[in-house]
Amino acid sequence: MTDLLAQVKEAGVVGAGGAGFPTHIKLNARVEYVLVNGAECEPLLRANQQMLAKYAQELWQALRLVVEHTGARKGIIALKIKYEQARAALESCQPREGVYGIHLLDDFYPAGDEHVLVHEVTGRIVPEGGIPLKVGCVVINVETLLNVLGAVRGVPVTHKFVTVTGAVRKPLTASVPLGTRISALLELAGGSLIEKYGIIEGGPMMGKAVAAGDVVTKTTGGVIVLPVHHPLLQHKNESVRLNILRARAACCQCRICTDLCPRYLLGHGLEPHKIMRALGAGSLTKELTQAFLCSECGACDKFACPMGLSPRQLNSMLKQEMGKAGIRNPHGRNELKPEASRGWHKIPSNRLIARLGLEAYNVPAPLLEIEVNPQEVILPLQQHLGQPARPVVQAGEKVDRGQLIGTIPDHNAVGANLHASIRGIVESVTSSITIKRL
């Protein structure tokens, strides 16, 4: 393992913008392109675009490290054309070598999907069921890249940039200690504007409903407060069984879900209307395996379907059920051509925000330089893909901020180290480590 990978592994860096894949494994590759994903395409979230503006110099520095490590011939920061401040900051300190570039993306959803981003920047199409590495690319999120630089400087991952927005008094973005309760973030944002509310962690499209007692992890991108009866929250709490019944009763096979599906538009063999037809008919056809190709972006259910059905949720269920039954993805075509309609079937962000009923909440959430000092943090041992971290501290032990408290259980396992995010005393060690501030 190279020095860079060892430092990244030691610091517990994982993908901050997705499922939390360990970065030391992702970067263990030789590629042609390193693409920095600054699209931040989930409505209302504001962290990445402000980090691009504020840490432009550091990001170029970090990108240089990754480009040199992977032997890439291009290192490109991709961001939306509307992030004017970020663009100006990046251009002001862009390295002169032709290796480094900026790619401006149109304002559509989901510009930040890895497959979409790779195609937008390079013109290449990741094969069905594949990852960007298959076409010589590695895609890294903005905050993850900053954490790589931190790792090289000996600073482990202890904090997360989070946007707190929606029905709160002062929407904001801040770097907060891992393990901070979401209720503390709401206080930070001046509290909720409404009495009866629900909370979405992540973006409105791909995030999940959470409780105020849940905590910030290495993958928390945002916290959105909405009235409890907001359709988005209702949607996220719907049962799969109800959705199947509704698919049977109400899917009119208009195929709008397919026509707007970003993976279908890239040429993948994913046609959600056919999955809905098979599910509605209760037939076990090969078409159901198309669900393996679904990214769960939510374009079909939250924007496309005129009947309010959710191919996304059913695809997610199908993937889980087929996985349990030992069925593997049979789709792997790699000679793909985008659909001719792709150009005009991209979903404009402003139309998406209107469709989601979020126009009132589409406001700035300024990145504040504030020190957030929770009295207690709860750090789940599993906040990344792979095996949970193995605790290396016991209840009653004093820990310093940045101290290693959980390690990858087996040297070769997929996993990530975990560090204390505040100075304090370990109160308990279960599937999480709770630390009380000293």
Give the footprint of ligand SF4 on this chain (CB under 6 A): 251-257, 261-263, 270, 272-273, 276, 294-300, 304-305, 307, 309, 311-312, 315
The nearest distance, CB 188 to ligand SF4, in angstroms, is 32
CA atoms of 66 and 358, how far apart (whole Å): 37
The nearest distance, CB 167 to ligand SF4, in angstroms, is 26
The nearest distance, CB 71 to ligand SF4, in angstroms, is 32
- Give the residue with the Cβ less far from ligand SF4, 164 or 314: 314
Which amino acid, residue 389? A
The nearest distance, CB 120 to ligand SF4, in angstroms, is 16
- Give the residue with the Cβ less far from ligand SF4, 225 or 347: 347
- Give the residue with the Cβ less far from ligand SF4, 167 or 251: 251
Helical H segments across 253-382, by residue range: 256-259, 262-265, 272-281, 299, 311-324, 349-355
- Give the residue with the Cβ less far from ligand SF4, 308 or 386: 308
The nearest distance, CB 380 to ligand SF4, in angstroms, is 26
Which pair of tokens denotes residue 332? 């792997």
Residue 255 half-sphere exposure toward CB, CA atoms < 13 A: 6
Q: How distant, in Å, are the alpha carbons of 44, 346, 354, 409 from that of 359?
A: 9, 19, 6, 46
Sheet holding 424-429, edge to edge: 376-380, 432-437, 424-429, 398-399
The nearest distance, CB 243 to ligand SF4, in angstroms, is 10
- Give the residue with the Cβ less far from ligand SF4, 9 or 268: 268
Q: Cα angle vertex 18, ends 322, 269, to 5°?
A: 45
CA atoms of 243 and 191, how far apart (whole Å): 34
Pairing of strands 74-80, 100-105: parallel
- Give the residue with the Cβ less far from ligand SF4, 138 or 251: 251
Backbone angles phi, psi at 213, to 5 degrees: -85, -10
